[in-house]
Amino acid sequence: MIYFDNSATTAVNPMVLRTYTDVATKIMGNPSSLHGLGTTATRLLEASRRQIAELLGVDSQEIFFTSGGTEGDNWILKGVAFEKRPYGNHIIVSNVEHPAVKNTAEWLKTQGFEVDFAPVDGDGFVIVSELEKLIRDETILISIMAVNNEVGTIQPIGEISDLLADKPTISFHVDAVQAIGKIPLEAWLTERVDFAVLSAHKFHGPRGVGIVVAKKGKRLTPLLHGGGQEHNWRSTTENLAGIAATSKALRLALDDDDFKRQKVRAMKQVILEELEKHRKVHVFSKVENFAPNILTFGIRGVRGEVVVHAFEQHEIYISTTSACSSKKNAAAGTLVAMNVPSKLARSAVRISLDSTNNMAEVEQFLTVFRQIYQELEKVSG
């Protein structure tokens, strides 16, 4: 089996799984309990929080645990919107955001908030000058993803941070779910970023655990009310085993991350060079300012799901762009925003690599690709 769908989810690292199992079986206390077992659980919870904070270069009081990226994005958009409603009701998100952001923004419109969608250029990059034009006195929040999950564009977070440097009343949120290990921390967690979201299963951690970074002095209206966990910001019993495993996964993901990026970039380059030799292939992902792991392309005249299933017959697993929308048979939202013609957009498939992949797998993939391409070329004409 060859797994090239790592942007959808990654395999849990065996060392991470071992940590999860050890904690789940040996530390049974609830961190909210007053007895010794609860104290032991609390110590591990806070040790995990400190390690994650140290790895990200923030204060441990700025780390909050959630159930994943979707909850984190929902919490920040809704939490900021309702917290700052007395000061304004205008929100800006890019028109290539993950549904967790885009659909949340649409819902906020039903609650009386005004939302603008910042446009992107033909390669999928937010046009900062157009974003600037959308800012008004009532703007309270801007949300831009760090790395696009469908084509891999690395958004200009630094440039947007500079734009907002003299606008302290606007909260800046970055969906960094696809960023860990793929681009350097400083490329997305700038000093100006107020809120950021991570998801453990994107970097070989367990599913069902997310991280919210909320800088000191920033406020969020809670989504969940109850027992007052997470400094009374997110009430629910903490997923202690998952959190400890996430801490381990993040450390491993950031260990030698530059070397891992170079390895993945080299594999992407080999695949890209082969794809570009075929006249009916259209490549949507480039190299410069694109994530090293994501390569999205299409075979003209062939729907993406046909290509996905053709590779699956050879036990090679790729995706039709975003896993969250792949079963809806709709053109990728990012490609639509890039003004890619609908028919071409529906041909798109995404390869998402990982440092656990290797060149032998790449060569096998390309061998199968040539075979599939020849068969589909005959059918599509």
Give Cα 105 to chain centroid, integer Å: 17
The verdict on domain 2-9+256-380 having CATH code 3.90.1150.10 is yes
**Each residue's pLDDT expressed in tens, for the chain with a length of 381 residues:** 999 999 999 999 999 999 999 999 999 999 999 998 999 999 999 999 999 999 999 999 999 999 999 999 999 999 999 999 999 999 999 999 999 999 999 999 999 999 999 999 999 999 999 999 999 999 999 999 999 999 999 999 999 999 999 999 999 999 999 999 999 999 999 999 999 999 999 999 999 999 999 999 999 999 999 999 999 999 999 999 999 999 999 999 999 999 999 999 999 999 999 999 999 999 999 999 999 999 999 999 999 999 999 999 999 999 998 655 555 555 679 999 999 999 999 999 999 999 999 999 999 999 999 999 999 877 765
| Catalytic residue (one of 324, 336, 366, 376) | 324
Locate CATH 3.90.1150.10 in the chain.
Answer: 2-9+256-380
| Local structure of 237: helix, strand or coil | coil
What are the strands of the beta sheet with 348-352, ordered from one edge? 281-283, 294-299, 348-352
pLDDT per residue over 123-142, tens digit each? 999 999 999 999 999 999 99
pLDDT of residue 66: 98
Rounded CA Rg of the chain: 21
14-254 is a CATH 3.40.50.300 domain:
no
* Structure tokens given for 273: 């060079």
Every domain range in the chain assigned CATH 3.40.640.10: 14-254
Q: Report the SS3 class of residue 381.
A: coil
SS3 265: helix
- Give yes or no: 155 in active site: no
Q: pTM value?
A: 0.95
- pLDDT given for residue 42 in this prediction: 95
Element (H, E) at 69: helix 69-83
Residue 202's pLDDT is 98
